[in-house]
Amino acid sequence: MGFYALKDNFDEGFTTAYWNNKNITNYTCEVCEGINSENNGPLVISFDGKGDMADYYRIVKWHTVSPKLMQVLVDNKITGIRFKDILIDDEKGNLLTTDLKQLDVYGRSGLLTDLNGDEIPNCPVCHRVTPENLEGQKGLSINLDKWDKWDGSDMFYYDNWEGNIIVTEKVKEIIERNNITNIYFVNIHSYDL
């Protein structure tokens, strides 16, 4: 079974999405001092208005999808995800409703592991992996022998690498077959961190 990191293209000429920190609370770990952000309400984003809208955007650790991509995922019964409403912050500061949705990933696969299946060193409290611990890592793995780690979802995060969507080969093929814009995939075994 193949696993892939779902990535977004920044150079395809689509309008750029920006994160607005409304409805966000930041938490700091008392051990590693890493900062984690949580959404307390609808995700609020804005666009630069230059170019066409894409089907997918990653904005910090959050993801937005077009109605087309949402329908493809729903029609194919993709697991590990749900959709939430978002708001658009226009240039005047008005919050507007939209048919775009936040792709909320709840599928999980345990802590970040290297190609040998060993946990990448992380904070003992919040399990944050520092950039220094990721530097030089060549490839990731999903431990299929430990079913208490990966929940079997089609789309998921490592527990300590939120925002970085991992997908099964099934999802990769469905997205590619449906010509979804602003997405490419990297096999996790060859993923350079």
pLDDT above 70 for 11: no
pLDDT computed for residue 186 by the predictor:
95
pLDDT computed for residue 12 by the predictor:
65
Q: Nearest to residue 83, comparing CAs of 95, 67, 60, 59?
A: 67
pLDDT computed for residue 85 by the predictor:
92
Which range marks the domain in which residue 110 is found?
3-190
CB < 8 Å & 24+ apart, contacts of 70-79: 70/101, 70/103, 72/174, 72/175, 72/178, 72/180, 73/103, 73/174, 76/170, 76/174, 78/154, 78/155, 78/171, 78/174, 79/107, 79/152, 79/153, 79/154, 79/155
CA distances from 107 to 5, 14, 160, 162, 190 (A): 14, 28, 12, 11, 22
pLDDT computed for residue 191 by the predictor:
84
Condensed to tens digits (0 to 9), the pLDDT of residues 24-82 reads 888 899 999 988 888 788 888 888 777 788 999 998 888 999 999 999 999 999 999 99
pLDDT computed for residue 148 by the predictor:
62
CA dist 179 and 30 (Å) reads 44
pTM: 0.90
Mean pLDDT of 73-98: 89
Condensed to tens digits (0 to 9), the pLDDT of residues 130-168 reads 888 888 888 999 877 665 688 999 999 999 998 999 999
Question: How many domains is the chain partitioned into structurally?
Answer: 1
Q: Nearest to residue 71, comparing CAs of 185, 165, 184, 174?
A: 174
CA dist 162 and 3 (Å) reads 16
